Amino acid sequence: MSENNYGALMLKSALDISVDVTKITSPGIYPVIHGNTSVPDASSGLLKVSLTPSKPQITFQKENSSVIYSFVNGNWEKPTATDVDALAKSQNGGDIPDKKQFARTIGAVTSTTITLGESGWFKIATVVMPQATSTAVIKLYGGAGFNAGSPEQAAISELVLRAGNGSPVGITATLWRRSPAAANEVAWVNTSGDTYDIYINIGQHAYWLIAQYDYTGNANVTLYSTPEYSSVQPGNSTSGQTYTIYSSLMKPTAGDVGALPITGGQLNGPLSIGTDNALGGNSIVLGDNDTGFKQNGDGILDTYANSQHTVRVAPGEMMVLGAIRAGKEKKLSLTSNNNSTMTATFNLWGDANRPTVIELDDDQGWHLYSQRNPDGSIVFTVNGDITANTLLAGGAIYQNNGDIFGSVWGNSWLSLWINNNFVADVQLGAGTSVTTWNNAGSWPNTPGYVVTSVWKDYQGENIDGINYAPLQKRVGNQWYTVQGGTV
């Protein structure tokens, strides 16, 4: 193809786009597709155009299949990006008219940097959130502080804004925290209509944070690189909700998740182990819903078994509402029938003079006690009578009939010893009479006999006779005549 024919074709195509010959940089001047024989070929060539005899000549040179230069006013020029409605590489996207929309079109997230210096509240964005409904998100990378070796300062804070349904009008603002150095709180102010200023509270030295944001097609977000600062939350603002996303960095406490800590902690309400709780109040049941422990007042702890109140512990005492039994097969029991008129106390006490005293009392005084003396001896004392069938004291035995057995009685009973050793009775045996008048003699002349009587008539001066009998004693069941007594 000749140079002029090729140039004419290029010129015609160019002028279809622009009447300004100096702007012949439209698609008509670019090489056609290789192999299409109905259009000019792709070989190099020149086009010289003279606008008028008095105007400068413009030369177009096709260097290769993709680049065409124009020689205008003595200078070779390429077409600019603006000339062909294209983006300049040197602008790095800065010449995009609507950068937000471009990012949304290609599915990217809009990003910028913000600096928050002091500790307090910052207006980081203004959003337009139409009702029913719209959504916007703002994500901050980095947190308060920039100290090496402080991983928590590489924080992430996420704000999710959600419009309401119009009744009532408003938005929901939620902050999701991933680090202690992240933003602490969120708040918003409705400035007009669907427009809201968004505030966050964050710690000091939150410099050069990366902020990413996105929003639904009916909403808009304007982020501030140097936000307005306030040391306190704006008075006309509405507080949003803050949630912590727990991780190995942000571990929840037992209270955060409604659990009991390993040490300490407070449980509100009844506790059940393996069952539900029928005792209610401040109680613990174990396995059986009405068996366990319950606090029934200040300083009072009660124990229940199958709903029956069995034990009460109060300051200074423990009360068992039933029997106390010690042992296994054979048990020692301490019980009360609950029908006594007074309360009894079994008490252990002591002092220097009475080291150990075990004492039984009631409301009127003491009944008895067993006491260890300083010398180690023991005394048992009863404040009243002792009634027993038999009492043992060492080797001695006291029977309820008054008899006593002991070594002093020859390892026999006192009654036997008395019977065997004491005169139980005395009597006079069968008597004898003797006439003494005009008789010589000595009467009674038998040992153990005693004169029982004499007689005399009215004649003479001497007695007429004597009556005498043996004096007898009874030892045990045996009668004996008293020995001796003769002259």
Token pair recorded at residue 180: 């202690």
Task: Give the residue-averaged pLDDT of 454-478.
Answer: 87
Look at residue 19 and tell me if it is in a domain.
yes
List, for residues 260-274, the tens digit of each pLDDT value. Answer: 888 887 888 899 999
Residue 70 has pLDDT above 80, yes or no: no
Look at residue 332 and tell me if it is in a domain.
no
For residue 466, give every residue at least 6 positions away whose Cβ sits within 8 Å of its Cβ, in sequence order, or none: 433, 434, 436, 443, 444, 451, 453, 454
pLDDT at 31: 42
Asked if residue 433 and residue 377 are part of one domain, the reply reads no
pLDDT at 211: 94
Task: Give the residue-averaged pLDDT of 446-450.
Answer: 85
Asked if residue 221 and residue 312 are part of one domain, the reply reads no
Name the amino acid, one letter, at 210.
Answer: I
- Residue 144 — pLDDT band, cuts 50, 70, 90? very high
Name the amino acid, one letter, at 124.
Answer: I
Number of structural domains in the chain: 5
Asked if residue 104 and residue 239 are part of one domain, the reply reads yes
216, 220, 224, 168: which is closest to 200 by C-alpha? 224
Asked if residue 300 and residue 230 are part of one domain, the reply reads no
pLDDT at 119: 94
pLDDT at 156: 95
Q: What angle do CA 244, 249, 252 make, to 5 degrees?
A: 50
Asked if residue 236 and residue 119 are part of one domain, the reply reads yes
Look at residue 90 and tell me if it is in a domain.
no
Look at residue 252 and tell me if it is in a domain.
no
Residue 161 has pLDDT above 70, yes or no: yes
With a pLDDT cut of 90, the percent of the chain lying above it is 50
List, for residues 302-317, the tens digit of each pLDDT value. Answer: 999 999 999 999 999 9
Q: Which helix (H) or strand (E) holds 12?
A: helix 3-15
Q: Which of 50-59, 223-232, 276-285, 386-395 has the lowest mean pLDDT?
A: 50-59
Averaged pLDDT of the chain? 83
Given a contact cutoff of 8 angstroms between Cβ atoms, the answer to whether 140 and 178 are in contact is no
Residue 29 has pLDDT above 50, yes or no: no
Task: Give the residue-averaged pLDDT of 168-197.
Answer: 96
Residue 150 has pLDDT above 90, yes or no: yes
CA distance 159 to 140: 8
For residue 48, give every residue at least 6 positions away whose Cβ sits within 8 Å of its Cβ, in sequence order, or none: 7, 57, 58, 59, 60
Name the amino acid, one letter, at 179.
Answer: S
CA distance to 266, 343, 369, 380, 384, per residue, from 346 (Å): 39, 10, 10, 15, 17
Residue 137 has pLDDT above 70, yes or no: yes
- Residue 73 — pLDDT band, cuts 50, 70, 90? low
Q: What is the CA radius of gyration of the chain?
A: 65
pLDDT at 218: 94
pLDDT at 30: 39
CA distance 384 to 362: 14
For residue 473, give every residue at least 6 positions away whose Cβ sits within 8 Å of its Cβ, in sequence order, or none: 423, 425, 426, 479, 480, 482
Name the amino acid, one letter, at 298.
Answer: D
Asked if residue 156 and residue 30 are part of one domain, the reply reads no
- Residue 27 — pLDDT band, cuts 50, 70, 90? very low
Asked if residue 373 and residue 311 are part of one domain, the reply reads no
Asked if residue 190 and residue 114 are part of one domain, the reply reads yes
Residue 146 has pLDDT above 90, yes or no: yes
Location of structure tokens 């997230």:
109
List, for residues 383-428, the tens digit of each pLDDT value. Answer: 998 888 888 888 899 988 889 999 998 899 998 888 888 888 899 8
Given a contact cutoff of 8 angstroms between Cβ atoms, the answer to whether 413 and 421 are in contact is no
- Residue 282 — pLDDT band, cuts 50, 70, 90? very high
pLDDT at 307: 94
Look at residue 309 and tell me if it is in a domain.
yes
Q: Which three-class secondary structure state does DSSP give residue 135?
A: strand
Asked if residue 108 and residue 231 are part of one domain, the reply reads yes
CA distance to 89, 91, 99, per residue, from 95 (Å): 9, 6, 9
Residue 43 has pLDDT above 80, yes or no: no
**Eight-state DSSP code of residue 27:** G
Task: Give the residue-averaged pLDDT of 42-70.
Answer: 52
- Residue 16 — pLDDT band, cuts 50, 70, 90? very low
pLDDT at 305: 96
Q: Which three-class secondary structure state does DSSP give residue 450?
A: strand
**Eight-state DSSP code of residue 342:** S
For residue 204, how many C-alpha atoms fall within 13 Å in the half-sphere facing its CB? 3
Given a contact cutoff of 8 angstroms between Cβ atoms, the answer to whether 181 and 208 are in contact is no
Q: Which of 88-92, 360-364, 383-387, 471-475 has the lowest mean pLDDT?
A: 88-92
Count CB-CB contacts under 10 A for residue 352: 6
Task: Give the residue-averaged pLDDT of 427-444.
Answer: 84
- Residue 362 — pLDDT band, cuts 50, 70, 90? very high
Task: Give the residue-averaged pLDDT of 346-369.
Answer: 96
List, for residues 124-136, the tens digit of each pLDDT value. Answer: 999 999 999 999 9
- Residue 380 — pLDDT band, cuts 50, 70, 90? very high
Given a contact cutoff of 8 angstroms between Cβ atoms, the answer to whether 176 and 158 are in contact is yes
For residue 20, the enclosing domain spans 3-77
Token pair recorded at residue 406: 């002991």
Q: Pseudo-torsion of CA 399, 401, 406, 408, nearest 10°?
A: 150
Look at residue 327 and tell me if it is in a domain.
no
Asked if residue 226 and residue 114 are part of one domain, the reply reads yes
- Residue 355 — pLDDT band, cuts 50, 70, 90? very high
Given a contact cutoff of 8 angstroms between Cβ atoms, the answer to whether 185 and 175 are in contact is yes
Given a contact cutoff of 8 angstroms between Cβ atoms, the answer to whether 148 and 162 are in contact is no
Residue 222 has pLDDT above 50, yes or no: yes
Look at residue 211 and tell me if it is in a domain.
yes
Handedness of CA 269, 275, 279, 285 (dihedral sign): negative
CA distance 329 to 325: 11
- 89 against 109, higher pLDDT: 89
Asked if residue 202 and residue 128 are part of one domain, the reply reads yes
pLDDT at 47: 53
Residue 105 has pLDDT above 70, yes or no: yes
pLDDT at 44: 52
CA distance 177 to 175: 6
- Residue 241 — pLDDT band, cuts 50, 70, 90? very high
Given a contact cutoff of 8 angstroms between Cβ atoms, the answer to whether 256 and 247 are in contact is no
Residue 82 has pLDDT above 90, yes or no: no
Look at residue 433 and tell me if it is in a domain.
yes
Given a contact cutoff of 8 angstroms between Cβ atoms, the answer to whether 200 and 119 are in contact is no
pLDDT at 24: 47
With a pLDDT cut of 70, the percent of the chain lying above it is 82
CA distance 408 to 379: 23
CA distance 8 to 48: 10
Alpha helices, DSSP H, located in 335-397: none
DSSP 3-state percent helix, strand, coil across the chain (nearest 5):
10, 45, 50
**Eight-state DSSP code of residue 363:** T
CA distance to 227, 470, 471, 474, per residue, from 479 (Å): 137, 11, 10, 4
Kindly report the pTM of this predicted structure.
Answer: 0.49
Asked if residue 184 and residue 103 are part of one domain, the reply reads yes
